[in-house]
């Protein structure tokens, strides 16, 4: 989706598939007064990320209606309900489809309502704000502000957090296969799903060391802040983008580029960097089939939200867009499935 209007500007979406089955999901919902954004980076299969796509926004709408508007509590309740519903699905189906117990997903959600921005996150997808510099700078007139926490044990502070929750387990975080992993299995510490790492009754899945307690959580980090006139745009992206582009690089690309196709431009920049690391060129990566490409880069989903403050009073002209959903959903979320090759 090269460019489409939302409640206070335009948005752009792009995705590139690396896995044999696309595990990333993303969606945007717009109305005359609010904009919702979701990026869901699945692992262990696409089941959890697809489930979030089909349920999380419905829970947000339900709880916001019940409580008279959006709030931190509404967002937390929506995350909790999505986690519980997915757990129920796993309980019903895992005997016939045991691998669903190991399916999980990072979950990054942004919401803009009444000039207030909410960002909720599980895992290592990331939201970044591009803000006009308060003073002219030699290098750039825009600054990058990270709005989400990466829940990845590759970061020392996250390792300390996990170790503090498991003081009686010396092997809760171990260095294996070149990275830090919880129990030698997974890098992210928070997710929707990954039921086999949260519920003892599912420990028989795979060859795991018995766990004393859940080693992952679905408790989101939530940021709430008032948008300012100098806030120019938001980037919501799975970690496949951030593996190859810094926050500053991504913000600079957007600031210096035309709006149309901007998400596609970010994806291409990430793939060019992935190719450079392997002494290849972009065209070489495009020729590699899905599945094999995963050795070079991850699935990448990018959503760019422009913030045009003068448009926030406009009403009644907007519809929404949902990526990768195979069928149209009721209301203002619609389906599409284009990918960047």
pLDDT, tens digit, 9 for 90 and up, residues 297-327 = 889 999 999 998 655 444 333 344 444 332 2
Q: Using CA atoms, how far apart are residues 270 and 257, in angstroms rounded to an integer? A: 15
Q: Using CA atoms, how far apart are residues 128 and 119, in angstroms rounded to an integer? A: 10
Average pLDDT for the chain: 87
Q: Using CA atoms, how far apart are residues 256 and 142, in angstroms rounded to an integer? A: 10
Rounded percentage of the chain residues whose pLDDT exceeds 90: 69
The answer to whether residue 333 scores a pLDDT higher than 60 is no
pTM of the model as a whole: 0.89
pLDDT in tens, 89-112: 999 998 899 899 999 999 999 999
DSSP symbols for 62-73: HHHHHHTS--HH
Residue 160: partners with Cβ closer than 8 Å, 6 or more residues away: none
Compute CA distances 322 → 14, 99, 147, 287, 303, whole Å.
Answer: 12, 26, 23, 27, 11
Neighbours of 33 (CB within 10 A): 13
The predicted pLDDT at position 205 comes to 55
Which SS3 state, helix, strand or coil, does residue 15 take? Answer: strand
Tokens standing for 41? 């980076």
The predicted pLDDT at position 291 comes to 84
The predicted pLDDT at position 209 comes to 66
The predicted pLDDT at position 318 comes to 38
pLDDT band at 208 (very low <50, low <70, confident <90, very high): low
The answer to whether residue 288 scores a pLDDT higher than 80 is yes
* Residue 106 near residue 56 (C-beta atoms within 8 A): no
Q: Which of 24, 25, 28 is nearest to 304 (CA)?
A: 28
Of 109-123, 185-199, 298-312, the range with the lowest mean pLDDT is 298-312
Domain boundaries along the sequence of the chain: 4-152+188-336
Q: Using CA atoms, how far apart are residues 201 and 196, in angstroms rounded to an integer? A: 8
- The mean per-residue pLDDT over the stretch 132-154 comes to 87
- The mean per-residue pLDDT over the stretch 147-176 comes to 94
pLDDT in tens, 231-276: 999 999 999 999 999 999 999 999 999 999 999 999 999 999 988 9
The answer to whether residue 284 scores a pLDDT higher than 60 is yes
pLDDT in tens, 53-72: 999 999 999 999 999 999 99
C-alpha angle 222/226/231, rounded to 5°? 105
Highest mean pLDDT among 135-144, 193-202, 217-226, 305-314: 217-226
Is 4-152+188-336 in CATH node 3.40.50.2300? Answer: no
Find tokens 């830090």 and name the residue: 180
């Amino acid at each position: 989706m090269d460019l489409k209007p939302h409640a206070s500007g335009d948005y752009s979406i792009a995705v590139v598939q690396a896995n044999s089955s696309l595990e990333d999901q993303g969606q945007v919902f717009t109305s005359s007064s609010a904009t919702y954004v979701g990026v869901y980076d699945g692992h262990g299969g696409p089941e959890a990320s697809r489930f979030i796509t089909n349920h999380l926004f419905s829970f947000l709408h339900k709880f916001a209606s019940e409580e008279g508007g959006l709030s931190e509590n509404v967002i937390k309740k929506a995350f909790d309900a999505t986690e519980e519903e997915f757990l129920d699905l796993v309980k019903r189906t895992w005997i016939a489809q045991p691998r669903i117990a190991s399916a999980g997903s990072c979950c990054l959600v942004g919401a803009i309502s009444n000039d207030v921005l909410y960002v909720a996150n599980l895992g290592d997808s990331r939201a970044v704000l591009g803000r006009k510099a308060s003073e002219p700078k030699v290098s750039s007139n825009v600054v990058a502000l990270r709005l989400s926490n990466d829940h990845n044990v590759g970061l020392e502070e996250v390792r300390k957090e996990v170790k503090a929750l498991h003081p009686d387990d010396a092997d809760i975080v171990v260095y294996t296969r070149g990275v830090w992993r919880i129990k030698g299995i997974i890098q992210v510490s928070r997710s929707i799903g990954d039921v086999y790492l949260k519920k003892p009754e599912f420990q028989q899945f795979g060859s795991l060391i018995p766990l004393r307690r859940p080693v992952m959580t679905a408790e989101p980090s939530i940021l709430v802040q008032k948008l300012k006139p100098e806030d120019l745009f938001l980037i919501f992206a799975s970690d496949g983008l951030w593996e190859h582009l810094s926050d500053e690089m991504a913000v600079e690309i957007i600031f210096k580029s035309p709006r149309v196709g901007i998400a596609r431009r970010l994806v291409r920049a990430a793939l060019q960097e992935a190719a450079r690391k392997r002494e290849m060129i972009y065209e070489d990566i495009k020729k590699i089939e899905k599945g094999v490409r995963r050795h070079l880069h991850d699935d990448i989903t990018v959503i760019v939200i422009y913030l045009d403050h003068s448009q926030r009073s406009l009403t009644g002209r907007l519809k929404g867009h949902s990526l990768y959903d195979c069928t149209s959903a009721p209301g203002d979320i619609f389906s599409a499935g284009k990918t960047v090759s």
